[in-house]
Amino acid sequence: MITKLVVASSNQGKLLEFAALANSEAIANQQFQLELLPEFAAIPPFDEKAPTFAENAAGKALHYSQFSNEYILSDDSGLVVPALGGAPGVRSARYAGPNATSEDRNAKLLHEMRDLTGDERGAHFVCALAAARAGRAIAIITARADGEILPSPRGVAGFGYDPIFYLRELDKTFAELSPNDKNALSHRGKAFRRLFDVAATF
């Protein structure tokens, strides 16, 4: 039996990571099919105003499940810097304004952290995944990846804050990892694999 999950997102970086995760051998063997929500841009958007990643992910999944008969998969994720009171947090994508680029957001964060040193530069990525169908929440899962923020970007892979998110044990940023290596360690990869364990019970 194949379980279909329809992804409700317009973030191309996330879609690429989801596709890579869904096509990985370990997950593919569990017989899951991943698709994009048709005509996503034409659907009234969900207003992400909740204070937590999990609430935003659940809200999105429930909202978009009104427009499909399939299981809807949605996520909310971002970067948390405790020394900045949790910022960028749930506003990670809007941290430097609604039309800012990833470079703009990274530059703003580095400016805000310019006087921070040592443990103050600690940070973690959070990913909350939610699955829903026909207005009913099926599963909500969260995971995180811990690291620190470099004073300047390194690497060209990935997206978002990846070039400044540093893994000390590997001496690399997320943007310096191959897609497979990043998916093995990332917040989204961890959450996605846990979701598929739960999805076996759908």
Mean pLDDT of the chain: 90
Query: How many domains does the chain contain in total?
Result: 1
Whether residue 11 is predicted with pLDDT greater than 80 in this model: the reply is: no
Q: Give me the mean pLDDT over the 14-38 stretch.
A: 69
Confidence category of residue 174, pLDDT binned at 50, 70, 90: very high
Could you tell me the pLDDT band of residue 132, with boundaries at 50, 70 and 90? very high
Supply the pLDDT for residue 36: 80
Per residue in 46-69, pLDDT (tens digit) is: 998 999 999 999 999 999 999 999
Q: Which amino acid is at 50?
A: A
Residue 32 has what pLDDT? 67
CA 59 to chain centre: 15
Contacts of 201 (CB under 8 A, 6+ apart): none
- CATH number of the domain residue 7 falls in: 3.90.950.10
HSE, side-chain direction, 13 A CA sphere, residue 201 = 7
Buried b or exposed e, range 31-55, using 16+ CB within 10 angstroms: ebebeebeeeeeeeeeebeeeebbb
Q: Between 30 and 152, where is the model more confident?
A: 152
Residues with catalytic roles: 76
Of the two residues 4 and 27, the one the predictor is more confident about is 4
Range of the domain at 87: 3-199
- Statement: residue 29 has pLDDT above 70: no
- Scan for tokens 């979701």, then name that residue: 195
Residue among 151, 142, 156, 154 at smallest CA distance from 193 = 142
Task: Give the pLDDT score at 30.
Answer: 61
